[in-house]
Amino acid sequence: MSTGLDTLTQTKINAWLAGNYDDDTKAKINELIDEKKDTDLTDSFYKDLEFGTGGMRGEMGVGSNRMNKYTVGSATQGFANYINRVVVSGDTDNGNSGDTDNGNPNHSGSSVAIAYDSRNNSPYFAKIAADIFSANGIKVFLFSALRPTPELSFAIRYLKCQGGLVVTASHNPREYNGYKAYWNDGSQVVAPHDKNIVADVNKIKSVDEINFVGNPDLITMIGEDIDFQYLKTIENNCINPDVINRQSELRIVYSSIHGTGITLVPKALQLLGFENVSVVEAQAEPDGNFPTVVYPNPEEAEAMSLAMNQAQELDADLVIATDPDADRVGAAVKNPKGDWVLLNGNQMASLIIYYLLDAWKKAGKLTGKEFIAKTIVTTNIIDKMCERQGVKCYNTLTGFKYIAAVIRELEGKEKFIGGGEESYGYLIGDAVRDKDAIASCAMIAELTAYAKDNGKSLFDFLTEMYMENGFYYEGLITLTKKGKAGAEEIQQMMVNLRANIPATVAGSEPITVLDYNNLTSKNLKTGEITNIPEGLGMEKSNVIQLVLADGTKVSARPSGTEPKIKFYVSVNAPLNRPEDFESVLASLKTKVSAIQEDLGLK
């Protein structure tokens, strides 16, 4: 073994070479050793994949820090052990008992639902998980073909499962795959379940403890029956069907970017009454190699380029595109010059909430017990709009599972209207407990139809919102730091920021520091420290926010699913006239760049 490897990494490699792993896995490890690829070996073995804000995610390959049969197996075995222990004890913490025994005496009385996306190895990993759950006496509802993540969330609730999982790496590059774990309310696992599942996974010390041999009698294939029930909830979300009827010929271009959205987005739009949907055929075929894009992410202009070119040719009204597992959606609209422009996640989240609040008010549905939920790094224009309408706005940690936690805690007490986060994830209604690009595509199409029915474009609608509430602009600065060394560098950046709060940032003085690591808010003028209440989507997390005297907000947060640290910068200014849109936007972008320069974020 190379002396360039630390003791822990060497120990893990030796365990895999000596353990009951298949010959192909061992051959690939020995190949890395023979080629002296110490960096690859370290990154593959220096730690175990962990559950973060989105579950477990990593590059595919051999090793304890890679997505493969054995890491999926360990995670699933630990998850199965936890489910069985919880069901036996009856300690579910948040809802039904998990007793979904359909008369089969051979299983524990618990069940899970499993879905997967179009990525390479996703069906393979899903089958491994199904076999392990069934081998542990847990009934499995396995989708017979790829399906969107939000439908998995719906299926868990509809089938009254104890939990579930979806095999996906969301919008990550093609070499990644992942594993999102869900609990019985249809949301991704939160405390205490997330930590408890990890603890049960960590108790597995040998690959021999994983029950890979499934029980086919406990595996039920599902598909169109769940599609039908799920699509009914999207139809129920529709607020203005008469508007859609009048604007049924709205010209919509849609791309699934080689992912799961193709299975349901066109159906959902057709169900609502949109008759002029043009699919980007070059990206319609599910394909884990994502051959037409560099990065299968609708946040990226490159990934949206084919759809926007098609929209230009067709003189369309709207472009929408979903990521591989169809929980995120990107959109593009024409500006007054006739140019297609991408809307960012904050803009679309704001537009959806702007439309929902107005529609609920006009329908007389605002009683004082309704609420919106968003994350702490999502635009504050949503808070402002909620305040104007007398609707509560709950801010949560980053990660849609925290928004789901608020919905769960307030169920039966307050009514959830909708919510979202800056990373292109939105939710309308509470039938699903995760971000839902299928329902969001339907709602975006509806609000575009509403704007057109009132003689406006979606861009006009955006301008109107800013004129009423102020022009909020958010910049995202992402620094990628791969591997062990990168993870250590990210941690040190957070330590340095906490220890050295700048005296000024782009000419404005920080007045408040919110440190979610210890849930405290410090007034820098008085030195007074107050507590940030725990609960309702809030717990300790490695995030720090600076609020400046001019209303600017800067947030620093290491990603829970990727080797990145993200800095979110929010600035705002009045917008007095539609024709000032571009000049105000330019000034706000300049301010974000100055903040980036001042903080040394290069």
Average pLDDT over residues 558-565: 80
Across-strand partners of 373? Answer: 394, 419
Residue ranges of domains in the chain, CATH in brackets: 68-222 (3.40.120.10), 229-468 (3.40.120.10), 472-599 (3.30.310)
Q: What is the pLDDT of residue 49?
A: 77
Dihedral angle of Cα 27, 31, 33, 34, to the nearest 10 degrees: 130
* Residues 452, 280: Cα–Cα separation, whole Å: 23
Q: What pLDDT digit, counting tens, does each position of 507-557 carry? A: 999 999 999 999 999 999 999 999 999 989 999 999 999 999 999 999 999
What's the pLDDT score for residue 591? 96
pLDDT of 199 reads: 85
Residue 601 has pLDDT above 80, yes or no: yes
- Separation CA 141–CA 129 (nearest Å): 11
Among candidate residues 111, 118, 170, 423, the one labeled active-site is 170
The per-residue pLDDT for 103 is: 34
Alpha-carbon distance of 160 to 186, in angstroms, equals 9
Q: Is residue 170 among the annotated active site residues?
A: yes
At residue 2 the predicted structure's pLDDT band, cuts being 50, 70 and 90, is low
Per-residue model confidence (pLDDT) at position 53: 47
For the segment 316-351, what is each residue's pLDDT rounded down to a tens digit? 999 999 999 999 999 999 999 999 999 999 999 999
pTM of the model: 0.92
Q: Give me the residues paired with residue 479 across strands.
A: 565
Predicted pLDDT at 326: 98
Mode of pairing for the β-strands spanning 471-480 and 529-531: unpaired
For residue range 152-185, list pLDDT tens digits in order: 999 999 999 999 999 999 888 999 999 899 999 9
